[in-house]
A and B are shown apart, each in its own frame.
Chain A
Amino acid sequence: MSQQQHTSDHGGQGSNVAKRAEQRWAFVAVLMLILFVGLAAGAGIHYMVMPQARVETTDPRTVAITGEFVESNLGSVAEPDGSVTVRALGQRYSFTPSCIVVPAQTPVRLRATSADVIHGILIEGTNVNTMLIPGYVSSITMQFRESGEHLMPCQEFCSVGHEGMWGKVRVIDKAAFTAAAAKAKRVTCAEQ
């Protein structure tokens, strides 16, 4: 094998060929990486799927008894600009509201936090997926294309009752939501 005869040949034909093949591959590999990162950044910008823009904190001791996440303030509310804000609280072992209702084809912002330990929110059938860390407010924006019902499990281990922590998201059409929002300041489907 000609490669072996040239082991001591500094700058021999074989080692040059080998080096060039390696360099070509390294170049291709770096190009691939730039492509991946570019795709991710581009997709993020185009589809506006980006991590939440701000870090917000709450007082974990009182988050459930006073302030933005008190029980009467949870649920969906229509904002003046036509969007909807949903506030939710995760605790061991349920979400409040246990059934969240949102209108289809409307920008929705979900604001949520945890009252005790780390939980997660995952809306099945969508890419809505965030952690709930006690002391911090999670905020993500979403838009549902069609009506329907989705399961919303807690996706992070929150101790021994974690397997029972499943909520629901009900997407209804805009008119039905507007009617519901006219009747109650905070809309949920928890009673149904």
Chain B
Amino acid sequence: MNLNKIEVVGEHKHFQIREITDSGGYHRRVLTSDMDVSSEVQEIKDKAELEWTDEVKASWTKFQAEQEAKMEGGSNEGEQFGQSNFKG
């Protein structure tokens, strides 16, 4: 796949990566500032170096912790119910 576009979005500077597949279609993925980009193409590495400051990384880490608390689900199933209860 070949890199087609890097979109930097939001306060956490996520990279929305669009690539062109061998068949000519689009493939998408998102890179966040806690990810390892050492195996990415140089353009992505350069963008990460520029955009993902320590402040951005810290903000993203904090946001993730806050989101974890808000995520639906809350408790894990086995903490309150046995597996058989899952089937109702």
A and B pair up:
no
A residues sitting closer than 8 Å to B (CB atoms) are none
